[in-house]
Amino acid sequence: EIVLTQSPGTLSLSPGERATLSCRASESVTSIYLAWYQQKPGQAPRLLIYGTSSRATGIPDRFSGSGSGTDFTLTISRVEPEDFAVYYCQQYGSPITFGQGTRLEIK
Amino acid sequence: QLQLQESGPRLVKPSETLSLTCIVSGDSMSSSNYQWGWIRQPPGKGLEWIAFIYYSGSAYYNPSLKSRVTISVDPSKNQFSLKLTSVTAADRAVYYCARGRESYENLKGFQRAHYYYGMEVWGQGTTVTVSS
């Protein structure tokens, strides 16, 4: 099982700042199999990024993904008030696994 | 527009079986590119994938839960279901159904490229409590 470790656990930023969220895998992940989700309190997760760097339908271009091998990054170029949430990375392997999440909170 | 809705008992007794159904509306289930799955989230914790199934009936399970889980699909009713046996307090969680998508591209020499597009559509989730 591939373990995904996200860092930091909590990221405190002000609106307008740049957010960099990390996802490190215990073994190499094929880039097309790495996705990112956003979850707000009381809501289901929402797909943001698939294939490491492709934005899902309707996702603003301030969200971008990058990485390869065991290190992947989700970047929010300028954090908007609605972006404060928990973010999860996910790999499509056997089994599918999620990271433990990074909470983006208002500073 | 595709919508998923979980249904089933919110309260299950310890050692009994949790049964949930996901009702699919707004689109047909009958595409080999779709994975119909279940994911759960214990209170205050992260996401755990449980299983997914294709409309053909081919199913894939998380090994950590496989001995207790059965996923099934009924394309004629546009729904799929989850059964989790011998529940304990550790199975208390919000249970989500979701649709994943993938595709294949034929390449030269009988090879195929596989693409995965993530879990694109999620139900709102249903909270299941385990208590006597």
Q: If pLDDT is split at 50, 70 and 90, which confidence band does A98 have?
A: very high
> Which helix (H) or strand (E) is A28 found in, with range?
none
For the stretch B111-123, pLDDT in tens is 889 999 999 999 9
Q: Do A47 and B118 touch (CB under 8 A)?
A: yes
DSSP string, B24-83: EESS-S--TTEEEEEEEE-TTS--EEEEEE-TTS-EEE-TTTGGGEEEEEEGGGTEEEEE
**pLDDT band, residue A26 (cuts 50/70/90):** very high
Picking from A39, A46, A47 by the largest number of B CB atoms within 10 A of its own CB, the best residue to mutate is A47
Chain A residue numbers with beta carbons less than 8 Å from the beta carbon of B117 are 50-51, 56
β-sheet bridge partners, residue A75:
A20, A64
> Stretch A37-62: mean pLDDT, rounded?
98
Smallest Cβ–Cβ distance between A95 and the set B47, B62, B123 belongs to: B62
Ranges of residues in chain B whose predicted pLDDT is under 50: none
pLDDT at residue A103 above 90? yes
- Please report the pLDDT score of residue B69 as a whole number: 98
Beta-carbon contacts of residue A29 (< 8 Å; ≥ 6 apart): A2, A69, A70, A72, A91, A93
Q: In the predicted model, what is the mean pLDDT of residues A11-35?
A: 97
